[in-house]
Amino acid sequence: MQANLKKTGVAALVSFAMMAGAVAPAHALGKREKGFLTGVAATVAVGALINQQRNQQNQHPRRVVQQQPQYYAPQPQYYVQQPTPTYARTAPVAYEPRYRAPSIYSVPAATTFNEYSPQMRREIQLELARYGYYSGSIDGAWGPNTYRAVQAYARDSGNTSSLNSVRGAYGFYDALVG
């Protein structure tokens, strides 16, 4: 106990000595420097107290009491076999394929239109617009508006059968642009 008291006294004296040394030239220091030195002195004093406390704890180690393990008898487990599910078999359903119209992008008129140069495609759209069949933008792209305009012009001019083949579509477009 006396050794602890002696260590505490020494730590206090050291911290006070440091504070006194820091305070002595304090008249030449500003407010911030004084605050800094006070913080350093407080840190040293607190560090000394913490180290002292750790040393005291290491001198008197705690006793660890271990409890004896407790054993339990396993509980019996009962398994009930679940019945296997049975599923009713159904007759396979036959589906008849429905007729699906070809896409407007795969018809011969579309493939033929896309084989022309961009300038020629714009001319075809421009001619269809001049006749009043096409109202979309003149961009040279095949789409629903171009498809409807080509179909309507072919119907009105009596050339619907020519759009069913690539050869007939070339003739149709060449006659349109002229």
Residue spans per domain, the chain: 108-175
Q: Which residue has the tokens 């040394």?
A: 21
**What was the pLDDT predicted at 16?**
60
| Higher-scoring residue by pLDDT: 135, 3 | 135
Cα separation, 19 vs 109, whole angstroms:
99
Q: In this structure, what token pair is assigned to residue 16? A: 């006070």
Is the pLDDT assigned to residue 23 strictly greater than 70?
no
Please give the helix or strand (H or E) that residue 38 lies within, else none: helix 31-59
DSSP 131: T
Cα separation, 159 vs 163, whole angstroms:
7
**141 and 135 in contact (C-beta within 8 Å)?**
no
**What was the pLDDT predicted at 152?**
95
pLDDT digits (tens, 9 = 90+) for 35-57: 887 888 888 888 888 888 777 77
| Higher-scoring residue by pLDDT: 43, 73 | 43
**What was the pLDDT predicted at 147?**
94
Give the percent of the chain with pLDDT over 90: 37
Q: In this structure, what token pair is assigned to residue 106? A: 């795969």
